[in-house]
Amino acid sequence: MRSGLAATAALCAVAALPGTAVAARAAGPDDLPAYETAPGARPVEGRESSAHGPAIEPGVYTDDIGPGERRYYSVTLDDTSNAWISAVALPEPGSRVNGMDGIKVVLEATDGTNCGDADVSFGGDGSARPIADHAWRMIREDGYCQKRGVYHFSVERESAGTSDPTRWPLEIRFMREPGLRKPVPDTPPAAETPVPPGPPPGEARPIEGGTGFNDAPGMDEGNWSDRLRPGETRFYKVPLDWGQQLFTEVEFGTARTGEDDAPYVSGAFRVDFYNTARGRISTHGVGYQADKPAAHSLQSRRVAFANRFDGATELGRTRFSGWYYIAVHASAGLAESVDGAVPVVLRTTVEGTPGPGPGYDGNAAEAGFAVTEDDREAAARGLSQAEAGNGGTLRLVGWAGIGTGTALLVGLGLWTLLARRSAARG
């Protein structure tokens, strides 16, 4: 869990600003925290026909979708930059889903030409969790969808008849990657056989995974410890620059069980790996028996711009400099064999020296496709974007102007909220 000081800092910083409200998050079954939507996300209502899709621009939007529906949105693209549009589907934790349930995202031209598509499902364990992927338009010689103009982005939900028919919230993110000053070779680097490094040294530092992409804490090299309850998903992020490669072992420790013989659960955990634009790179299920540790080793390809021209999913999607996300999910079915939470350790190593970028004709950092010094500092301290923005420490500025009685009341309220949050999450 993140330190009380760090958590208090974010709340105190808000409390010190007049007219600023603290938004509460709804809780799921058994008080599992709900996905935290991006600050400033705008509601939008996708339409059934491509002819009537509402216009969206680079930014984050929220919508919802029912079984069998396809929701259309309209985007206007230039003829120099790459477009990446993702959708995150958010079924209620613990709700009934089929392993083949999921979403399909497509970006297409007005004449029906498919620019880029992807589909993502829950997988064999059939446990409800946030799932995401992106569609795209890439600028390249003799490529599809190169002209400027209107394009249609769509999200389609696929659900079995036995699945929970409740509408799923959606979070849609449109990112525009600047074009290049001059073209780069579209031949991806030769695939290499990575040699996993040894485990990083040092004791595990505590970290509290986020509910999603927006509040995921940063991780740098080292060992990080957390706890995961049945039905819960926690997100973490690692900054990867050009030429760098990620190695992370996700270890699930032994846990208490209410039975004499702990049963083996074949789909106990799911580890999803996403790139900077929320495109899924890989997903893996992990079996588990509470009286024995289990682990999954995750590794990326070295980050290179030309990786995007490789058709292989796990190789071709390490195509940006920026944040990469690891989502760890515990199946709701674990509640039958585990008494409480399961300890999780993420042993993380980043190999390679940061190299030069491809020569963007624009500000890649502002567009979200770069690693900044602030990113590296947040990762070193295990902070989320919001906490890093607040300095990660208790802010006393502004308290001098608050009366002693008011300060005590606010302080007591903050500590009560923190105690409740700690009890709910651990």
Q: What is the pLDDT of residues 400-414, one digit of tens each?
A: 333 444 444 444 444
Alpha helix (H) residue ranges in 346-398: 364-367, 373-381, 385-389
Confidence (pLDDT) at 29: 53
Measured at the alpha carbon of residue 279, what is the angle toward residues 273 and 285, in degrees to the nearest 5?
Answer: 35
Confidence (pLDDT) at 66: 98
Tell the residue number behind the tokens 């008080």, with chain if given: 31
What pTM does this model have? 0.85
Confidence (pLDDT) at 212: 98
Average pLDDT for residues 366-370, to the nearest whole number? 97
Residue 313 pLDDT greater than 80, yes or no? no
- H or E stretch covering 5: helix 4-15
pLDDT range class, residue 315, cuts 50, 70, 90: low
Residue 7 pLDDT greater than 90, yes or no? no
Sign of CA dihedral 163, 67, 115, 240: negative
Give the percent of the chain with pLDDT over 70. Answer: 83
Q: Give the model confidence (pLDDT) of 153-211 as tens digits.
A: 999 999 999 999 999 999 999 999 999 999 888 888 777 767 788 889 999 999 999 99
How would you label 408-424 residue by residue, b for 16+ Cβ within 10 Å and e otherwise?
eebeeebeeeeeebeee
Confidence (pLDDT) at 188: 80
Nearest to 374 by CA among 325, 327, 326, 322: 322
Average pLDDT for residues 380-390, to the nearest whole number? 82
Residue 422 pLDDT greater than 90, yes or no? no
Average pLDDT for residues 68-97, to the nearest whole number? 96
**66 vs 62: CA distance, rounded Å:** 14
Confidence (pLDDT) at 20: 32
Tell the residue number behind the tokens 């589909």, with chain if given: 119
- Hey, is 264 helix, strand or coil? strand
- Hey, is 349 helix, strand or coil? strand
How would you label 26-40 residue by residue, b for 16+ Cβ within 10 Å and e otherwise?
eebeeebbbbbbbee
Residue 326 pLDDT greater than 70, yes or no? yes
Q: Give the model confidence (pLDDT) of 244-257 as tens digits.
A: 999 999 999 999 88
Q: Give the model confidence (pLDDT) of 270-280 as tens digits.
A: 999 999 999 99
Listed in order, strand segments (DSSP E) in 42-201 are: 42-43, 59-65, 70-77, 82-89, 102-109, 114-121, 131-137, 149-158, 168-177
Confidence (pLDDT) at 300: 92
How would you label 43-53 residue by residue, b for 16+ Cβ within 10 Å and e otherwise?
ebebbeebeeb
- H or E stretch covering 274: strand 264-274
Residue 28 pLDDT greater than 60, yes or no? no
pLDDT range class, residue 11, cuts 50, 70, 90: very low
- Hey, is 301 helix, strand or coil? coil
Average pLDDT for residues 299-307, to the nearest whole number? 92
Nearest to 37 by CA among 376, 386, 391: 386
- Distance between start and end Cα atoms, the chain: 8
Average pLDDT for residues 13-32, to the nearest whole number? 43
Confidence (pLDDT) at 314: 66
Q: Give the model confidence (pLDDT) of 99-153 as tens digits.
A: 999 999 999 999 999 999 999 999 877 789 999 999 999 999 888 999 999 999 9
Q: Mean pLDDT: which of 16-30, 214-228, 247-261 is highest?
A: 214-228
Confidence (pLDDT) at 185: 84
Give the percent of the chain with pLDDT over 90. Answer: 70
- Hey, is 157 helix, strand or coil? strand
